[in-house]
């Protein structure tokens, strides 16, 4: 029995074991299809959330034989999951930037105005819902802003809200944890279900979309020095550069793009130029696809486990329903504006919604549905405006 206790204790005391077990079970769940709709990578998030919730319910220690064994607790593994989440975000968003970069700046046209307006419309409508909730439903501003940032899965907005002097940080954290679950899954399901509801011919739409988004990327005839065959030098350089950008704060506003915004910008810039002096900074497509997928699922594990733990400790039905409204209203408004005002194709429409909702998992789901990485351009074009506005909104709404 002592031998068995030692083995079980080693398993349950190892954060790496938890991470890969969640990934394995998440991929199994994500592969299940119901009427053509699957969770995909978001299956990892569901398992991570369940893991966090079950850990809270079981809590504490138990005795196996004569050995005291500790189950998961946020204090013990908080650093592990935070690091995994940060690594995942950096890998995924940098990959998106490097994929979109070669075409992004060359395709600036009237659609860019549409993406800017989409960011304003999505964050603006979500902010209006928040104001109505505070004034009409007697929910305190701290909790409401937490719900807003959770509904939009915006960690920068969440962090910015907690920085405001006099804010109830515990209420902000509770609101964020309650709304985060549907904030992620709602957008993931939305980008999959809309093409089916509209009976979109995906194959034809993909063909037209790729043709419309095709931009000739001029290849430099100058010979560049390749540091490594996979492009890992360029990738790691982009992540490092991105963190430098993300740490820059705008005086007075106390605003920064953070790790996600910084790495996106760095990826776009390095992807656009493709070199730094004589050094080749092009990254192989296979490398980018792998980094994007691995980054996404690591982010889901790192954010999901603590999120599930926090969710079960703060959940109330009233706040959960408010969070659902805060997620759905901006998406629906954004969809109709994109379709009937700017006449965007379904893929650009949904891509801009994932950017406006600052939803990393939803972009992964949309890429899988669309069958092309080009949808990342709409995400990349909308995301920066949405990021700036959600940070500002989170601070301003606290004064209601």
The whole domain housing 377 covers 84-213+226-302+313-399
**How many other CB atoms are found less than 10 A from the CB of residue 154?**
30
What does the alpha-carbon distance between residue 53 and residue 312 come to, in Å, rounded to a whole number?
6
Which residues lie below 8 Å from residue 317, measured CB to CB, with a gap of 6+? none
Query: Does residue 275 sit within a domain?
Result: yes
Whole-model pTM: value is: 0.77
Number of domains into which the chain is organized: 1
d(CA 152, CA 145): 11
Reduced to 3 states (helix: H, G, I; strand: E, B; else coil), residue 198 is coil
Confidence (pLDDT) at 335:
96
Residue 266 falls inside a structural domain: yes
Q: What is the pLDDT of residues 364-378, one digit of tens each?
A: 889 988 988 888 889
Q: Are 182 and 151 in contact (CB under 8 A)?
A: yes
Is residue 30 included in any domain, yes or no?
Answer: no
Contact (Cβ atoms closer than 8 angstroms) between residue 337 and residue 81 = no
* Cα–Cα distance list, 342 to 113, 128, 211, 338, 349 (Å): 9, 22, 19, 5, 9
- Decide if 152 is inside a domain: yes
pLDDT single digits (tens) 7-19: 666 666 677 888 8
18 CB-side CA count, 13 A: 27
Question: Which range has the worst mean pLDDT, 142-146, 224-228, 310-314?
Answer: 310-314
Q: How many distinct helices (H) and strands (E) make up the chain? A: 16, 6
Tell me how many degrees the CA angle 145-151-154 measures, rounded to the nearest 5.
75
Question: Which pLDDT value is given to residue 302?
Answer: 84
Asked if residue 72 belongs to a domain, the reply is no
Say if 7 falls within a structural domain. Answer: no
Quote the pLDDT of residue 345. 92
């Amino acid at each position: 029995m002592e031998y068995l206790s030692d083995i079980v204790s080693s398993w349950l005391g190892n954060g790496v074991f938890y991470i890969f077990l969640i990934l394995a079970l998440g991929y199994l769940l994500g592969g299940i299809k119901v009427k053509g709709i699957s969770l995909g990578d978001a299956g990892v998030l569901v398992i991570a959330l369940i893991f966090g919730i079950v850990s809270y319910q079981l809590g504490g220690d138990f005795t196996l034989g004569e050995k005291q064994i500790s189950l998961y607790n946020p204090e013990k593994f908080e650093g592990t999951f935070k690091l995994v989440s940060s690594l995942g975000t950096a890998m995924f968003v940098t990959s998106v930037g490097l994929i979109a970069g070669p075409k992004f700046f060359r395709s600036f046209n009237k659609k860019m105005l549409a993406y800017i307006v989409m960011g304003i419309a999505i964050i603006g409508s979500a902010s209006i819902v928040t104001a109505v909730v505070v004034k009409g439903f007697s929910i305190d501003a701290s909790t409401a802003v937490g719900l807003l940032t959770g509904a939009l899965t915006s960690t920068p907005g969440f962090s910015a809200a907690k920085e405001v002097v006099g804010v109830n940080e515990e209420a902000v954290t509770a609101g964020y944890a309650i709304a985060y679950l549907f904030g992620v899954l709602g957008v993931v399901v939305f980008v999959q279900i809309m093409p089916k509801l509209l009976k979109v011919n995906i194959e034809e739409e993909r063909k037209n979309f790729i043709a419309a988004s095709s931009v000739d990327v001029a290849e430099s005839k100058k010979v560049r020095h390749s540091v490594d065959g996979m492009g890992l030098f360029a990738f790691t350089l982009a992540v490092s550069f991105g963190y430098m950008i993300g740490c820059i704060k705008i005086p007075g506003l106390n605003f920064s793009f953070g790790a996600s915004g910084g790495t996106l910008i760095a990826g776009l810039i390095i992807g656009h130029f493709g070199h730094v002096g004589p050094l080749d900074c092009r990254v192989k497509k296979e490398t980018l696809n792998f980094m994007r997928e691995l980054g996404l699922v690591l982010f889901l594990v790192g954010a999901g486990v603590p999120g599930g733990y926090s969710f079960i400790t703060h959940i109330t039905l009233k706040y959960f329903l408010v969070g659902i409204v805060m997620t759905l209203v901006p998406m629906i408004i954004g969809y109709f504006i994109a379709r009937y005002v700017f006449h965007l194709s379904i893929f650009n429409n949904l891509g801009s919604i994932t950017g406006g909702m600052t939803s990393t998992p939803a972009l992964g789901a949309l890429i899988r549905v669309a069958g092309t990485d080009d949808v990342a351009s709409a995400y990349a074009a909308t995301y920066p405006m949405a990021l700036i506005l959600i940070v500002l909104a989170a601070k301003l709404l606290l004064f209601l």
